[in-house]
A and B are shown apart, each in its own frame.
Chain A
Amino acid sequence: IVLTQSPATLSLSPGEGATLSCRASQSVSSYLAWYQQKPGQAPRLLIYDASNRATGIPARFSGSGSRTDFTLTISSLEPEDFAVYYCQQRSNWPLTFGGGTKVEIK
């Protein structure tokens, strides 16, 4: 399953909201996760099964969607949220990741 993330880059200011998209080439039901990665660091799980926040993840992060279309929403960007975000499906083998969306400071 191919996961296509858009946009590739999102230029925003702190305090603004962010909407990131992940589209699957076929249905993954709700088996989609979102990760955040900062330079030189390992990925960090944010959301799993489309809308479940992982432990310790702030409420400003939310996920929605099902089947082929998914969204990660950051309600109000904090300085530490500028990073690259990846989606990942666990519906079909092999597990696959999207190409990433970079959220950069405008």
Chain B
Amino acid sequence: EVQLAESGGGLVKAGGSLRLSCAASGFTFSNAWMTWVRQAPGKGLEWVGRIKSKTDGGTTDYAAPVKGRFTFSRDDSKNTLYLQMNSLKTEDTAVYYCTTSSIVGTNGNVFDIWGQGTMVTVSS
């Protein structure tokens, strides 16, 4: 069964740091382009960024609000994706989802595989 499972969320003070993990199973993680999407309480979905597979360069792209503060990485030997969040702000409070695509021909930008999400709360 294809699965993604996020962990590492919690309560942190503004200016602090947190690292989220996303464990993948049931598919070839090393070939996957992985994306983070977040959802503030009661709000819509926001694309945070993505990391390509190492065979496709392993490059990263970040949304403007998080660029310079968030870092994506991956450990293909552990089938795990990471999101390092530094200099956290109250507006980073959200459920963070990792997601990916199994749909051919969409450049990995349509998301049919999602984790359950992990909540990050940044207090002032």
Given A48-B103, A49-B106, A94-B64, also A86-B45 (CB < 8 A)? yes
Q: B61 — which chain A residues lie within 8 A by C-beta?
A: 93-94
Segment with Cβ contacts to A, from B10-18, B86-94, B111-119: B111-119
Q: Which of A66-81 contact B (CB under 8 A)?
A: none
Q: How far is the CA of A8 from the CA of B93 in the complex (A)?
A: 23
Determine how close the nearest CB of chain A comes to the CB of B80; give it in whole angstroms: 18
The CB with the most chain B CB atoms within 10 A, among A42, A54, A93, is that of A42
Q: Which residues of A lie under 8 Å from residue B106 when comparing CB positions?
A: 48-49, 90
CB under 8 Å from chain B, chain A span 19-46: 31, 33, 35, 37, 41-45
Chain B CB count within 10 A is highest, among A43, A55, A88, for: A43
B26 in contact (CB, < 8 A):
no
Contact residues in A for B45 (Cβ distance below 8 Å): 35, 37, 43, 86, 88, 97, 100
What are 29 sample pairs from A and B whose C-beta atoms fall under 8 A apart?
A31-B109, A35-B45, A42-B99, A42-B117, A43-B111, A43-B114, A44-B114, A45-B110, A45-B112, A48-B103, A48-B106, A48-B112, A49-B110, A54-B103, A54-B112, A86-B44, A88-B45, A88-B111, A90-B107, A90-B109, A94-B47, A94-B61, A94-B63, A94-B64, A96-B47, A97-B46, A97-B47, A99-B44, A100-B45
